[in-house]
Each structure stands twice: as structure tokens, then as C-alpha cells.
Amino acid sequence: MIRVRVPATSANMGPGFDSLGIALNLYNEFEFRELEESLKFNGMPEEFCNEDNIIYQAMKYCFDKAGYKIKGLEISELKQDVPVSRGLGSSSTCIVGGLVGANEILGKKFSDDELLDMAVEIEGHPDNVAPALLGGMVVAIVDENKTFYDKVNIKKGLKFVSIIPNFRLSTEKARSVLPKEISLKDGVYNVSRAALMVSALGSGNFELIKYACKDAFHQNYRSKLISGFEEVYNKSYELGAWGCYLSGAGPTIMAIIDEKDERFSNKLGEYLKQKGFEWNILELSLDNAGATVIEGANE
């Protein structure tokens, strides 16, 4: 039996479209057992208990890469704290969890770099799967079908506040509203701010995050799909957030605040209640471990 814990992730971080992401201390946990025959699922809705299950598909992808024919498999979801279709990397936890679980069954045949390449091949982009696998903040690119990445050492002193609405937004719908092409002006706008984001988080010049968070690629288009976005976004800055951005494809809004700020979440919660918005607020911190095989769970 193999148990794997995978963190939530927040991608894009404003201007870093499909390339920047962080891992956060909110987790999904999976358990895997090789069987003599059959495919079994536990702890998940009936609609996902079949061979189209994204966890199973990721495991099969890994087994096929290794040339391994598995007879049977039991997949259990023990914990699902990462909300589905909210822009916090729920699908990436499934992909990474499945790959790591399969690799454990294979006796750790593949390195983290090889697992990351597989995850990107499945997901299509590295911004969520890279931090889910590796932890921390990761800058990742794909060049000639190979993923290259570097981890950013974020200076201590920050909290990441996830402001999560009670409705879902599918990644497919969120991508459908994006333009097919961008202008040189918008390209320069985002490149400069993505560079500033990495620099400011690494140096501790947090007062620059507000300017680094601005985006011209996706946020203006996707925010129109999210009722209450402008109000929550503007209120976050009014309450003293260092920065604020649409997490992944949304609809979650991520606020970056001072770790000593004890009033932000309460004040924002009061505001949401007054406005009649049914949003949850979670104060999170960086997860630096990434996907972890829980010791003592293997047999």
C-alpha cells in the first residue's frame, strides 16, 4: 500500500501565464495498492470510478513509459481538501499523485525530472504540476518537449489568502475566452512584470508585488466570468494586501499579505458577508515539500 500527499497550487501569479506557480499547505491524499486483477476505486464519486479517471490515466501513462503491465489496481482518495474547479490545482494533484504512486510501484524507476515531463505531457503546461510535484515556487518552461524549471526561494514574511467562491469555473471555459493572439505591447507588459514578481519575492521587496501582479494576458478576460471579482479584488488592496491576482484559471482570488497581518481575513470576511457573497477564506503558507510519499503507509 502506498500513500501520497500532494499540495494545492496557485498558478500564473498574475503575469506568469502557464509558467509561474506556488505550492500551498492544502492537500489531497491518495492511496494505491497493486492487485492480482481488476480496477477498484474508493472515496470518490461513482462518475469517476472507471478507466477515464485522471488518476488512473496518469498511472497508466507512467506504467506504459516503463513498459510495465499491471494486473490490477486499487485507487483510494483519502482526503480531498483542494476544491474542484476553483483554480487551486485539483486536477494537478490527481495527475501528480497518480504518477508518484505509479513510480513507487515501479520501485522509483523515474526521477522527479522525468515525472515532471510526464505530468506536463498529460496536463499540457507546467505551471500547476511543477509546484505540485516539487513544492515551493517554481518557474517552468517547455522547450522542444522538455520541461526546464528553477525553484525560487521566497523571502519569509508572507501569507497567501485564498478567497474561494462557492461556484466552479471549468478550465475549458476559462481558456475559451482568451484571445488567440496578443500584441507586442501586452507581451512586454507581462514579461516585465513576471520578471519583477520573481525578483520581488526573492529579494523581499514586497512593496513591488502590487505592480508585479498586474496582467494583460488572461485576468481581464476571465474576471468577467466571475461575479464579484472586481469588488473582492479592490477590497483586498484596500485592506492592505501586498498583491492580488486570479489564481490559475479562477474563480479563486489569491491575496498576498504580510504574515503578521491578523486583521485582513476577518475584515474581508465581514465585507463578503455584507455584500452577500458566499466565499470561503483560507490563510495558507508555502509548501516546500511538494508531492510526498507518506512514510509508514507503504507495505
Binding site, by residue number, is 83-93
What SS3 class is residue 282?
A: strand
Classify each residue of 162-174 as buried b or exposed e, where b means 16 or more C-beta atoms within 10 Å of its C-beta.
Answer: bbbbeeebebeeb
- Residues 297 and 31: their CA atoms lie apart, in Å, by 9
- Residues 216 and 188: their CA atoms lie apart, in Å, by 10
Please check whether residue 134 is in contact with residue 112, taking contact to mean a CB–CB distance below 8 angstroms: yes
Residues forming beta bridges with residue 72, ordered by sequence position: 35
- Residues 133 and 210: their CA atoms lie apart, in Å, by 28
Please check whether residue 163 is in contact with residue 281, taking contact to mean a CB–CB distance below 8 angstroms: yes
> Which residues, other chains included, contact 78 with Cβ-Cβ below 8 Å and sequence gap of 6+?
3, 29, 30, 31, 43
- Residues 60 and 103: their CA atoms lie apart, in Å, by 11
Closest C-alpha among 83, 101, 248, 92 to residue 174: 248
What phi, psi does 211 have (nearest 5°)?
Answer: -80, -35
Measured from the Cβ of residue 37, the count of other Cβ atoms closer than 10 Å reads 7
Measured from the Cβ of residue 145, the count of other Cβ atoms closer than 10 Å reads 8
Which residues fall in the annotated binding site for ATP?
83-93
Residues forming beta bridges with residue 265, ordered by sequence position: none
